[in-house]
């Protein structure tokens, strides 16, 4: 099936979802469902709220339908600054069933990612066919009367993907982009500040299907399994940014310095830095790592 697969030239590990600085609450894995909590948004007027975003279908019950329902079920001492009625920065927007509109009837909706400022400057070479792999801060959780989880046992994990279809739209001006009022936050016209205006405001739209697995949509969310975990399995409290990755990444994930890496069997380990949003791997043009890249992508999309 993958013999004629067109592998992405670049794989971008892209940090998305709440972190300790934005929201201060991990996202959750509930019965293998990876529920990424997008960050709260103070910079827009009239934007969506957590109460406007639907839960994944498998987690919905008659009395719990939205992300706000989940947030309000998190004990107040564990939910950080999140509030169910707060505005939300829904980016990437890759889950169509998050919207109240009936699936397939959301006019002009496409899976999209926006990026701006310094983080987008790091993506200036990204082109059609390149693959974003989204990761975030996660906790295993259960949801009964409350959402219960151990904040001391959190980790970084891959949760979704988007392969770039049409060439990225660069230096996008702020504008309304839909007939029915749907707006991606990097296109929304009503701003309190101008940080998304002008240079380095880009929109990346998903391809219809993956070029290396044409039976899979160009964007989506994974179901959790261990292959999605980035944090080293031996990590204790407070070291989730120490990653163990497939060996082909060794010293090739920009902007991490070469002396930050060490090999461990068939893996490579690296201490990631601060809150960098984008880590870029570029596949060598000589094809020397193609088999390893293909094997890893097959693991991601077959097991999860």
Specify whether the CB–CB gap between 136 and 159 falls below 8 A: yes
Domain ranges, ordered by start, for the chain: 10-226
The two three-digit tokens of residue 204, written as one number = 């990346």
What is the residue-wise DSSP string for 1-57?
--TT----SEEEEEE-S-BTTTBS--EEEETTEEE--PPB--SBSS--BGGGSBPPG
Q: What is the pLDDT of residue 63?
A: 93
> What pLDDT shows up at residue 236?
81
Per-residue pLDDT, 3: 46
pLDDT at 106: 63
Measured between alpha carbons, how far apart are the two ends of the chain, in Å? 18
Rounded CA-CA distance 294/12 in Å is: 15
Task: Supply the pLDDT for residue 125.
Answer: 92
The pLDDT value recorded for residue 191 is 47
pLDDT beneath 50: ranges in the chain: 1-3, 176-181, 189-192, 194
d(CA 163, CA 166): 10
Average pLDDT for the chain: 87
H/E stretch holding 301 reads helix 290-303
Instruction: Give the DSSP letter of residue 72.
Output: H
H-helix or E-strand spanning residue 148: strand 147-149
Contact 17, 37 (CB under 8 A): yes
The pair of three-digit structure tokens given for residue 22, joined into one six-digit string: 């934005």
The Cα 83–Cα 283 span in angstroms is 41
Beta bridge partners of 270: 243, 261
């Amino acid at each position: 099936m993958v013999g004629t697969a067109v592998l992405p030239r670049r794989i971008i590990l892209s940090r998305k979802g709440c972190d300790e600085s934005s929201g201060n609450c991990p996202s959750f894995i509930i019965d293998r469902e990876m529920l990424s909590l997008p960050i709260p948004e103070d910079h827009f007027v009239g934007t969506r709220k957590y109460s406007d975003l639907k839960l994944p279908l498998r987690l919905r019950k008659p009395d719990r339908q939205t992300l706000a329902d989940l947030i309000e079920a998190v004990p107040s001492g564990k939910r950080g600054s999140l509030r169910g009625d707060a505005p939300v920065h829904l980016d990437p927007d890759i889950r169509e069933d998050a919207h109240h509109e009936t699936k397939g009837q959301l006019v002009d909706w496409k899976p999209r990612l926006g990026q701006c400022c310094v983080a987008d400057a790091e993506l200036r070479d990204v082109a059609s066919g390149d693959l974003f792999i989204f990761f975030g801060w996660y906790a295993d959780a259960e949801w009964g009367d409350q959402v219960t989880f151990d904040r001391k046992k959190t980790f970084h994990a891959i949760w979704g993907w988007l392969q770039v279809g049409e060439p990225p739209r660069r230096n996008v001006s702020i504008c309304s982009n839909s007939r029915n009022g749907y707006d991606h936050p990097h296109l929304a016209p009503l701003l309190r500040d101008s940080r998304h205006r002008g240079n380095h405001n880009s929109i990346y739209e998903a391809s219809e299907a993956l070029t290396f697995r044409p039976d899979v949509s160009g964007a989506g969310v994974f179901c959790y399994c261990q292959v999605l975990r980035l944090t080293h399995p031996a990590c204790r409290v407070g070291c989730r940014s120490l990653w163990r990755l497939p060996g082909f990444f060794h010293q090739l994930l920009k902007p991490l310095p070469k002396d930050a890496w060490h090999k461990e069997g068939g893996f490579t380990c690296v201490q990631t830095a601060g809150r960098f949003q984008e880590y870029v791997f570029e596949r060598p043009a000589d094809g020397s790592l193609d088999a390893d890249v293909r094997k890893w992508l097959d693991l991601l999309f077959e097991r999860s």
